A and B are shown apart, each in its own frame.
Chain A
Amino acid sequence: MKIIVCIKQVPDTKGGVQFNPDGTLNRGAMLAIMNPDDKAGLEAALRLKDQYKAEVTVITMGLPKAKDVLVEAMAMGADKAILVTDRVLGGADTWATSTTLAGAMRNLEYDLIIAGRQAIDGDTAQVGPQISEHLNIPVISYTQKLEIEDGYVIAQRQYEDRYHVVKAKMPCLITALAELNEPRYMTPGGIFAAYDAEITEFNRKDLIDVDDADLGLKGSPTKIAKASDKVRKGTGEQVNLDPEASVGYILEKLKEKHVI
């Protein structure tokens, strides 16, 4: 069985977001980490490796420094690593990113593709499902439990108030929730070996069945009109009214803010 795991290097927004004195985000002061949902996806793949001797290939798209997360993945136990990097890929939105990754994956054999549900920087949850569409294979999003049985994936697909137990024929793609498992640590031997391991680099010319017009900023249907760091809000209003008027005040504000 061959498994591809999509991973992304993201700034750590969880362990305390760093701000500049003017209230804007200080990206430079934040650590770059492997996206948590992706790490759960990798762990799921490594468990299938332990169980069925599956071959695990990790893939990421990004700048050359994104190699760090590939090395980490190999230190955890991944067999092969691919970095998709090229100047023409810069500024890609989810559509162009999924088109690029699908183009890279057409070089590879796979029974299962695992992506994290969403990355903590963009929070879009779009790239995984969109890859499945480009590759014309079934997708199970929001996977909270995963098993393999005779060429099929049996998974628990999470919704707000329920889950579905679903069965999909491989090859297929799943997106993993962080609660799928508790990722393992890198082993000292793994870390040592990972630094000597070869990382394959894919560039534009390695993408199969992808038009130039569908890559990077130019190939992205969505364009950023404006971006700003959210300035932390200061003190709001304070009122001192009788209970009935207080209720009226709260209702008015909740309506104004579309809460009710």
Chain B
Amino acid sequence: MNLNEYKGVYVYAQQVDNKIDGVALELLGKAKDLAKDLNTDVTAVLIGSGVKGLINKLAQYGADKVILVDDPALKDYRTEPYTHALSSVINEYKPEIVLVGATAIGRDLGPLVSARVKTGLTADCTQLDIGDFPLKAIEGKEQKHNQLLMTRPAFGGNTIATIACPDNRPQMATVRPGVMQKIEKIADAETEVIEFNPGFEENAKYIEILEIVKSMSDTVDIMDANILVSGGRGVGGPENFYILEDLAKAIGGEVSCSRAVVDAGWKPKDLQVGQTGKTVRPNVYFAVGISGAIQHVAGMEEADIIVAINKDETAPIFDVADYGIVGDYGKILPMLTQSLKNIAAMEA
């Protein structure tokens, strides 16, 4: 493998039902940073059936080039034809980096492609940098420059590891949704489009989709939520929870609560966070009117970011919060919700 042949940062532009997944846009934003450090460009790989209309959006969010693999075999996600498509793109165009969203699709596609093209894959990364491997020069050992350094949590978030892929190309990572930042939309962006079709012949690995069932369920598991807006006794009553629900909706999260709220009968038990409820580990946890008893903290302290809003400046919740705001949630939250809606409208 001649590593120098491999150039460019590629992003798998995940689409489902002809809609680009948000994580693809986030990855394009990160890819731009990495490409700048490497003095190269960003390519989005768009795979699907009848998805040409999505190219413009990829351009607007930072793709210098788009490689389009469009074929009827790619209508709905199936492991084999999608693996064939992305592997063939890699073998043909030789990227140095390939980023894939750590979604239920990406966590299937990524491993298959890495096995097929014989390279490493680092799962669920939360940070990507360009740097040296080994990090510090070791006498008698070659130190490689311009390597992708992939940082990820392990042991249920209790340890952090930084991983490199120094001798194989491409360097592949799946990245958690919601971690990277998409760029500001460039309305009149242009992109170079390359159409590529490696040919799709059915074989035993082509599984058949008999039925697609979209979930309509209202019952969400708060343990799966990326963002939680959690209310405590300080919310004041069940009639006020719509304020938290509005914020959760605007920011793409779910509502949870403390034990006091369940005991008072304001919310059902399956939304309870804490020692006698559920242990959650979202990206962001808003603690609204929650005092922060140790039993509650035990269930949420592993959240990446904790934002606490409470009238009482001595509330123990402020001891674990990354960002503590002393104030009236009833005034702050509606304004915050409105601001988030305004931002979303601007980006649409």
Which A residues form the contact surface with B (CB < 8 A)?
11, 13-14, 17, 25, 93-95, 98, 120-130, 132-134, 136-142, 154, 158-169, 172, 220-230, 232-233, 235-244, 246-247, 249-251, 253-254, 257-260
Contact = CB atoms under 8 A, between A and B. Distances in A.
B111 A94 contact: yes
A180 to B, nearest CB: 15
Interface stretch (B102-110, B186-194, B254-262): B102-110
Nearest to B109: A129
Contacts of B212: 162-165
A130 B133 contact: no
A258 B339 contact: no
Q: Report the 10 A-B pairs with minimum CB-CB distance, sorted nearest first.
A: A221-B120, A222-B120, A133-B115, A236-B322, A238-B324, A124-B123, A13-B156, A243-B331, A129-B111, A165-B211
A100 B167 CA distance: 20
B332 A243 contact: yes
Interface of B: 16, 26, 76-77, 79-80, 83, 103-105, 107-108, 110-112, 114-116, 118-124, 133-135, 149, 153-168, 178-181, 204-215, 227, 251, 283-284, 301, 304-307, 309, 313, 318-328, 331-332, 335-336, 339-340, 343
Say whether chain A's binding surface is mostly helix, strand, loop, or mixed.
mixed
B158 A229 contact: yes
Contacts of B164: 222-223, 225
Nearest to B83: A133
Contacts of B158: 13, 17, 25, 229-230
Contacts, number: 246
Contacts of A17: 155-156, 158
B161 A133 contact: no
Contacts of A259: 178, 227, 251, 283-284, 305
B161 A235 contact: no
A154 B79 CA distance: 15
Which of B83, B111, B119 has the largest count of A CB atoms less than 10 A from its CB? B111
B207 A140 contact: yes
Nearest to B279: A14
Contacts of A246: 309, 325, 327, 332
A25 B26 CA distance: 32
B323 A226 contact: no
Nearest to A121: B155
B159 A25 contact: yes
Given A126-B114, A133-B116, A259-B251, 18 more contacts: A95-B114, A120-B156, A123-B124, A133-B111, A139-B79, A159-B104, A159-B105, A162-B212, A164-B213, A167-B208, A221-B114, A225-B149, A225-B163, A227-B162, A243-B335, A250-B325, A258-B180, A259-B283
